[in-house]
Structure 1
Amino acid sequence: MADLFSPLRIQNLTLRNRFAMAPMTRRASPGGVPGADVADYYARRAAGGVGLIITEGVRIPHPTAGYPSSIPTLDGADSLAGWQAVTGAVRAQGAAIAAQLWHQGAEREDSDGVVPVSPSGLNSVGQARGVALDDDGLDAIRQAYAAAARSARAVGFDAVELHGAHGYLLDEFLWDKTNIRTDAYGADRTRFPAEVIAAVRDAVGPDFPIILRFSQWKANAYRASLADSPAELERILTPLVDAGVDVLHPSTRRHYLPAFEGESPTLAGWTRKLTGLPVIGVGSVGLATEFTPGSTSRARIEPAPVDRLRELFDAGEFDVIAIGRALLADPGWVNRLRDNTLGEFAGYDAESALARLH
């Protein structure tokens, strides 16, 4: 695994190795303000060996962006001071940190009375929910993404990731099941996400890394397909890359499966091949059971072999691999891999791991 511990240069950022912490929602920032416990949570994973921390989804400063309020934001003096403490704690452990900027779109809960917004007023299972965005709404959200990215850079983040996956707002524009608009944003479903990327690029400057996370699957539709062929995937990704993306993060539930029918590279492999950009692979690394959002199962998940990581890395299918639940269970998972003590990793126990979210 030695090659996976080599550095990687992206714009003005050098990662110490090829391991990232995947973004995982915590809802542990009262009033949107990350506290000392949040800094400690991320610092433990940085000390455990990862090269890049990607935070939980962070609400952009727009009233429709997300619910509940315990999801952190990047707005207001208290929140920004909290994040500055987080970034300092992570950097002190030798890792880099990216803020994942998030708008939940039609998947937003509305218990607080705020009406969700989306391209066409549809959620990821095709149900009417909330309202479709008009031109003023689109402009306000573009500006909110830019403001969040500007704040992220100011408080010490090394990069930003735009959450364009899993049926949330940017993904809702890309997917034909949730974007049935008849205007220019429906004729070209990449248009609004590309405008957001361009606005973020203008906000952070030319040398600050922008990561885009995308997916085929949605939170309520595991078999969804954003692209049914490599050619269609290329048509989607090209304008987004041209708008200013530096790194792509194709989210899958199992990192090792082919992206399309037949023998083919993984989604990460196709993404890298089609765009030439660095790619972050992800999906059930180190565990025997694939990620199932919302699962209430408390059964222990056994460790899985990690031999495919080296094989896929050597085949050029990814540049960085993100780890999720394994890092919840054991913050030192990456160091165990480096030190050849992964045999001591006991797997994932949901009760114990959820306790470590706080």
Structure 2
Amino acid sequence: MLKLALTAAISMMLVFEPVAAEAKSKGRTAVVKRIKVKKHEPAKLVASDNRQRLVRRVIKVRGKRKVVYEQVRRAAPALAILSAGDLAGLNLTHDPLALRSSVAYVLDQDSSEVLFEKNSSVALPIASITKLMTGFVVVQAHQNLDEILTVTEDDVDHHKFTSSRLQVGTRMTRGDLLHIALMSSENRAAAALGRNYPGGINAFVAAMNAKARELSMNNTHYVDSSGLSSQNVSSARDLAKLVSMAHHEPLLRQYTTDPNYVVEAGGRALRYSNTNYLVAMPDWNIGLQKTGFINEAGRCLVMQAMIQGRNVVMVFLDSKGKQSRTADAGRMRRWLEAIKPPVIPAAAAAGVPVTVSAGAGVGVGAAPLVQ
């Protein structure tokens, strides 16, 4: 009797206890709950909600097979996280190239002629594009790239809890940390670079902001060396200035465009890859680049590239979709290869405010959010 009672109790627990499991189904989370079903009754219990169904399962209870039914309800799609650009309505701005980026700016590097612009004066979060200024400050300060630095707990991301392959205690040269920070957007590497600046991270951030003022990046402000904070903001016009100046530094050109790199960390070799796959494409001639992403910023990309014999700086901010920023770069390149000035943008027909520069430039604009 005791054995039967115990078996019954376990069976009841298995029948009524919610299952602590989640399953992925077409990008949605399926919430599973086990329910008690009488024999021949499952068909009656199929819910009218088309997101809910019953699944037959065979389990073992004390070594014996038992048939149970699980009520599976597919969760509604999660609400999309709005970026700062979305909240400002920049995603509603149309352009003649149908870019997925809310902000775009393309500049002839040699003549400073604006070739294309869209919301280019709006200051938005820039995510890991911040690291380009981090690298610029390190190189301009002529810090010893062979000095061994140690990753500490202070370099761990307690803001967005991003992961890292650099364990606390890892010892590495400043040059290698700079390399993987720029090429692979390694957050702990960028944090360690800022922390090991004379005066510490606060002095480093102050140097970043001083450099921004020196370059007349008036819509730019930094609060950390990694870009994890959404308070690191800039405009596309400002970032084009940074890209143009950073392109003069051979080390930044090399580190940002290497397809991959191997570092020694704790006695083991770690292979890092570039976050921008375009650097390995033979049909691209990229001189400098940096990617970035946090939810508040969307997908971001800055690049210097040679297109049709012309040195071009491209900036794309708040792009929607994992590959959309590089796809926008491809759209822009094809457009630049095809245009013959002057070009009158098709966006004008849609009632979008458009300006045309003295050359072939196209502009679609909005007022800046931050001055």
* TM-score of the superposed pair, with normalisation by structure 2: 0.26
Which structure would you say has the larger Rg? Answer: 2
Q: Which has the higher helix share?
A: 1
Q: Which has the higher strand share?
A: 2
RCO greater where, 1 or 2, for CA within 8 Å and sep 6 or more? Answer: 2
* TM-score of the superposed pair, with normalisation by structure 1: 0.27
